[in-house]
């Protein structure tokens, strides 16, 4: 039986495995750094999505409260104006407050001493436990703008401004309301 010897690699090929390993590790490192950056962006986007959803709800609430008050006869068409136009809705951006007796947002009877709050159930996702926390909407402001389209039609535009990571964002919702006879 004859033994065959394998030829040894040439000197130029001897270090190629180590060089290939270093290049592969560098490529892997760049990939991991890129992925960690994407994870950070995803966390920021998730936080912004929650705030955006809350701002949308606040705008919708304002529009629905005007419609409800008109349908129920609690609000006359002549009152559907900003204060500067002889109506009841405050001009400019206003802090988000608890509703006053009229049930309408951004009016003078809103409870100025009471900021709107909600209870977050905490990590255990159960209410009335030790980790619950009260969250305020201090970084939100709402503006109700009312303009005449014609004598029997008005445009209601609700803007909700909020801040996430020192960046200001605005959600806007617009609708029309007509005079009901």
In 3D, which of 181, 119, 110 has the Cα closest to residue 141?
110
pLDDT, tens digit (0-9, with 9 covering 90-100), for 19-31 = 888 899 999 999 8
d(CA 119, CA 135): 6
- Residue 13 pLDDT greater than 60, yes or no: no
Question: Tell me: the pLDDT tens digits for 82-131?
Answer: 999 999 999 999 999 888 889 899 998 887 767 788 888 889 999 999 99
What was the pLDDT predicted at 110?
87
Confidence of residue 15 (pLDDT cuts 50, 70, 90): low
Q: How many helices (H) and strands (E) does the chain have?
A: 2, 8
pTM (global) more than 0.85? no
pLDDT, tens digit (0-9, with 9 covering 90-100), for 128-161: 999 998 888 888 999 999 999 999 999 999 999 9
């Amino acid at each position: 039986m004859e033994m065959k010897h394998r030829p040894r690699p040439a000197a130029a090929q001897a270090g190629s495995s180590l060089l290939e390993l270093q290049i592969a590790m560098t490529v892997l490192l760049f990939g991991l750094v890129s992925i960690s950056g994407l994870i950070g962006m995803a966390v920021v986007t998730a936080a912004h999505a929650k705030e955006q959803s809350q701002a949308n709800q606040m705008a919708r609430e304002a529009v629905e409260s005007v419609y409800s008050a008109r349908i129920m006869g609690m609000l006359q068409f002549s009152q559907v104006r900003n204060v500067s136009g002889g109506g009841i809705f405050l001009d400019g951006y206003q802090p988000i407050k608890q509703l006053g007796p009229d049930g309408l947002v951004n009016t003078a009877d809103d409870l100025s001493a009471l900021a709107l709050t909600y209870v977050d159930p905490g990590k255990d996702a159960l209410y009335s436990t030790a980790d619950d926390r009260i969250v305020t909407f201090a970084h939100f402001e709402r503006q109700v703008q009312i303009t005449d389209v014609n004598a029997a039609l008005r445009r209601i535009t609700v803007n909700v401004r909020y801040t996430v990571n020192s960046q200001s964002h605005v959600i806007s919702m617009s609708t029309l309301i007509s005079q009901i006879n």
